[in-house]
Amino acid sequence: MSSGISLGPAFVFHDDEESAIPRYSITEKETDGEWQRLQAAIEKTKNDISVLRDRTVQETGLENGAIFEAHLMMLDDPDVQESMEHALKTSLLNIEWIVHQHEQSLVKRLESLSDPLLKERSLDIHDITRRILDHLMFKERFSLADLSHDIILVSRNLLPSDMISMDRKHVLGIVMDAGGKTSHTAILARAFEIPAVLGLGGASKLVKYGDKLIVDGNSGEVIVEPDKPTMEYFEKLKAEVLKRDKFYSSVAELPAKTSDGKEILVKANIEVPEETDSVLRHGAAGVGLFRSEFLFMQPGLMPSEEAQFKAYKKVLAALPGKAVTIRTLDLGGDKLIKEIAQEGEKNPLLGWRAIRYCLSDRVLFKNQLRAILRASIYGEARLMFPMISGPEELDATLAILEEAKEECRKKGQAFKEDLPVGIMIEVPSAAMTADILAEKASFMSIGTNDLIQYTIAVDRGNEKVAYLYEPYHPAILRLIKKVVDDGHGAGIPVSMCGEMASDPMSAILLLGLGMDELSMSAVSVPSVKHALRSVNLKEAEEAAVMALKCKSHKMVEAILKSKFGDRLDSI
Ligand code: PEP
Ligand code: MG
């Protein structure tokens, strides 16, 4: 969810499901347009393949670029083009379908041959076809960038990349069938301060284009075609929300200090550089997590080292004197880019994600590391690695960081030699080995969004199992306590940058568990500060001791509510 209330007309966005290739009739007049679309998609595909070829050659040597050369040649084959043009004009069907049919018949022919080398060509053809189809079909997605009026966006499943590319100034609210509180779409909605309700099941089928909608991101309600009394009720509610926000903005500038003087740093998570304004406006002490992968989800090519350097520098320079923790790429899972999506992994959340992806593409990874290193001198930078699953993976990662540092030194590029390097703890195996990992890290930050997902085995974006997603599960509280103790045992600070930290009641519990820093969506900073300011350390610690003894999350909730509920409800 993302808090706030909004009202507006529904815009139902139908995303292209992965495997469905659209098939529809066109008129004779439309064949030219369809042909142009294909040519544009082929150009984009050529561009993708050239980038891949260059990277492969740079990384593994010249001979490995040959496969991409062959792909590029296939795209220019006049016979192929002629045969598709003929099919388009005679069948009068859309170009996606023609491309798909062409692939099917070619693959069939190749697979009937006995030569294994020729058989393998069918894989190449499939690869190229997928790329072309992606470009043809992704056109729909990117049209969200061309919204011309204010709307409430209703969708089956908006991807994080849709959120990044859409024209946000026209999106008043978001309603989605899939997704949970910690899905990246929800996280981005909070970052962009767009009220959102996710996990509604069949909303995108029920709501029609143009329906008047009220989205209440606080209660999780969506009302279709509200009557007059309902409208009046929500107008009143909106006024109350405004009043509450006004109170919170008066807290924003105050320190997050308990009544007995214990200060805990409350920072913000950001996804795009433009969020630094929001960080300052909400009184965050810095950035505890910059999800750098969103720079890679803008439409177009992967950002170069130079483009990244500029983005990191911009964030650091906008927040002088405030620590900014830049997390290296956490692509994969639900944060897909074409390069990963095309692999069609069965279990993307357990697969080629985050540090695993970076370790398999050293060129990409080192580009990013050098960009961060070079930017580090422009502010209080810290570096953080995502999804570390154990000590050996951390060693391999640190070795690449050393190589990147050496490359900067050789080029005479200045960087902060004592740049703090931390790790995220978001995989149970990392939590269980936190004592070992802490020996090589300057800090640890617990990512509960994933830690809960992987510990309880519950997909954080799947509304059907959302009821199991429970931060107060005894297993989660024990792991958090272990990581805090291990970190402190090794003399390093422990923070949390998962969404759990953004809940005021949980923040009190985390204070009691000994957490040094909390980082969250910027909008949540004032309410968490208010919660921390309304308690003393001793009572928070007592609550934490009790919570750790509880046998169910419900008991933890009841304890926290009975001890602190009144104070938090009183605003
Ligand atoms: C987390 O897993 O808690 C986290 C902060 O990282 P992300 O939400 O980007 O996966
Ligand atoms: Mg994570």
- CATH for the 17-136 domain, from 1.10.110.30, 1.10.274.10, 3.30.9.90, 3.20.20.70: 1.10.274.10
Architecture of domain 268-522: Alpha-Beta Barrel (3.20)
* CATH superfamily of the domain spanning 145-162+171-178+189-242: Phosphohistidine domain (3.50.30.10)
Nearest-CA residue for atom 6 of ligand 1:
447
**Which residue ranges does the chain devote to CATH 1.10.274.10?**
17-136
**Is 530 annotated in the active site?**
no
| Ligand approaching nearest to the C-alpha of 190 | 1
pLDDT tens digits for 29-80? 989 999 999 999 888 888 877 876 776 566 555 665 666 677 778 778 888 8
| DSSP β-bridge partners for residue 444 | 423, 494
Is beta strand 171-176 parallel, antiparallel or unpaired with respect to 380-385? unpaired
| Ligand approaching nearest to the C-alpha of 187 | 1
The helix, strand and coil proportions of the chain, stated in percent and rounded to the nearest 5, come to 60, 15, 30
Residue of 275, 277, 278, 279 whose CA lies nearest to 266: 279
pLDDT of res. 18: 46
* Sheet with 5-13, side-by-side order of all strands: 196-197, 171-176, 151-155, 5-13, 212-216, 221-224
> Quick one: residue 199, left, alpha or beta (phi over 0 = left, psi -120 to 50 = alpha)?
left
| CA pair distance 448, 444, nearest whole angstrom | 12
The ligand 1 atom nearest the CA atom of 449: 3
* Distance in Å, CA 427 to ligand 2 centroid: 9
**Which residue ranges does the chain devote to CATH 3.50.30.10?**
145-162+171-178+189-242
Could you tell me if the CB of 449 is within 6 A of ligand 1? yes
CA 219 to chain centre: 24
Residue by residue, pLDDT tens for the chain (571 residues) are: 788 999 999 988 876 544 567 778 889 998 999 999 999 988 888 887 787 677 656 655 566 566 667 777 877 888 888 989 999 999 999 898 899 888 888 877 776 777 666 655 666 676 678 778 878 876 444 457 777 789 999 998 887 777 887 888 999 999 999 888 888 888 889 989 999 999 998 898 899 888 899 999 999 999 999 999 999 999 999 899 888 888 988 999 999 999 999 999 999 999 999 999 999 999 999 999 999 999 988 766 678 999 999 999 999 999 999 999 999 999 988 777 767 776 778 888 999 999 999 999 999 999 999 999 999 999 999 999 999 999 999 999 999 999 999 999 999 999 999 999 999 999 999 999 999 999 999 999 999 999 999 999 999 888 889 899 999 999 999 999 999 999 999 999 999 999 999 999 999 999 999 999 999 999 999 999 999 999 999 999 999 999 999 999 999 999 999 999 998 876 6
pLDDT of res. 140: 43
Which candidate in 71, 184, 282, 473 is catalytic? 184
Could you tell me if the CB of 334 is within 6 A of ligand 1? no
pLDDT of res. 51: 73
**Which residue ranges does the chain devote to CATH 3.20.20.60?**
268-522
| Ligand approaching nearest to the C-alpha of 500 | 1
pLDDT of res. 17: 46
**Is 550 annotated in the active site?**
no
Could you tell me if the CB of 271 is within 6 A of ligand 1? no
Neighbours of 367 (CB within 10 A): 21
pTM of the model: 0.76
